[in-house]
Amino acid sequence: MYRMTTPSNQGSHKPVDGEHRPIVFVVDDDISVRESLELLIVSAGWRPILFHSAQDFLEAAPTSTPSCLILDVNLPGLNGLDLQTLISSNGRGMPIIFVSGYGDVPLTVRALKGGALDFLTKPIDSAAILNAIQSALSQSEVLWLEEEKQQALQRCFDALTPREREVMSGVVKGLMNKQVAYELDISEITVKAHRGQVMRKMGARSLPDLVNMAAKLRPEIDTADT
């Protein structure tokens, strides 16, 4: 069981209304642990989603909001370290807080080397787990916002016509308008028109801005030197 104490900084965990609250996933085969964590997570203003096995967690739909995972190491079937490996391999990038009833140093080192944010041994007081969750959700929010920006950039690129993408590719390589026109066998005036459309659709304020965008879109757009 968890040792439930009143954390000195609990007031800093501000709740967010609605379904956009950060999610704290809990995977633990001990129902008493899950229920204790559920109460604590709700009291801090976050949204708990509980699972009794790693397989159940894997079968759940991915979330589109900042989230983290409290994960027991010793699970029946697929254990916590195996689940950590699967999460890392599928690119979900979810911060993980491991919990265990055993203070196994090699196990702790393996989990932390695998990217775990923290490793706490049971019994855990509420202040320790709340602080760990807060750090994990802050990290997740940064990752989530970066992913949102990347998706928005991809949508802008997808809105370009095939010709506009060709012009963009030439421009970000550093070619002059007349060079792009020669490569694509079109007039320089047409290149200028497409270039203006590219800047507008991509939301680029300058050429360096467009080059940075293209770098983030690799390998979809070829920015290699000609």
- Span 24-49, average pLDDT: 95
Mark whether 133 and 166 lie in a shared domain. Answer: no
The residue among 138, 187, 145 whose CA lies nearest residue 167 is 187
In this prediction, residue 38 carries a pLDDT of 96
In terms of residue numbers, what domain contains 47? Answer: 10-144
- Name 3's Cβ contacts closer than 8 Å, sequence gap at least 6: 123, 124, 125, 126
Q: Of the candidates 111, 144, 177, which is a domain's last residue?
A: 144
**Which of 95, 174, 82, 76 minimizes the C-alpha distance to 134?**
95
* 88-114 mean pLDDT: 79
Same structural domain for residues 128 and 189?
no
Kindly tell me if the per-residue pLDDT of 8 is higher than 60: no
**Helix runs in 90-172, H state only:** 105-113, 126-158, 162-172
Both 196 and 112 in one domain: the answer is no
Question: What is the mean pLDDT of the segment spanning 45-53?
Answer: 96
Residues 102 and 206 in one domain: no
Residue 202 belongs to a domain with what CATH number? 1.10.10.10
Domain termination residue (choose one: 117, 144, 171)? 144
**Count: domains in the chain:** 2
40, 104: one domain: yes
The token pair that represents 203 in the structure block: 């939301």
User: Can you give the pTM of this predicted structure?
Assistant: 0.69
Containing H/E element for 159?
none
- Separation of alpha carbons 131 and 58, rounded Å: 26
Q: Which amino acid appears at position 137 of this protein? A: L
Residue 3 lies in a domain: no
127 plus 211 within the same structural domain: no
Is 165 in the same domain as 76?
no
Q: Is residue 149 domain-resident?
A: no
Same domain, 118 and 208: no
Among candidate residues 144, 170, 203, the one where a domain is terminated: 144
Tell whether the model's pLDDT for residue 10 goes beyond 50.
Answer: no
Residue 72 CB contacts under 8 Å (≥ 6 apart), including other chains: 27, 28, 29, 30, 33, 80, 98, 99, 100
Residue 220: band (very low, low, confident or very high) from pLDDT cuts 50, 70, 90: low
Mean pLDDT within 121-125: 83
Measured distance CA(11)–CA(35) in Å, rounded: 22
Place of tokens 């954390």: 7
Tens digits of residue pLDDT in 146-189:
888 999 999 999 999 999 999 999 999 999 999 999 999 999 99
Q: Is residue 5 part of a domain?
A: no
> Which two structure tokens, joined as six digits, stand for 220?
């979809």
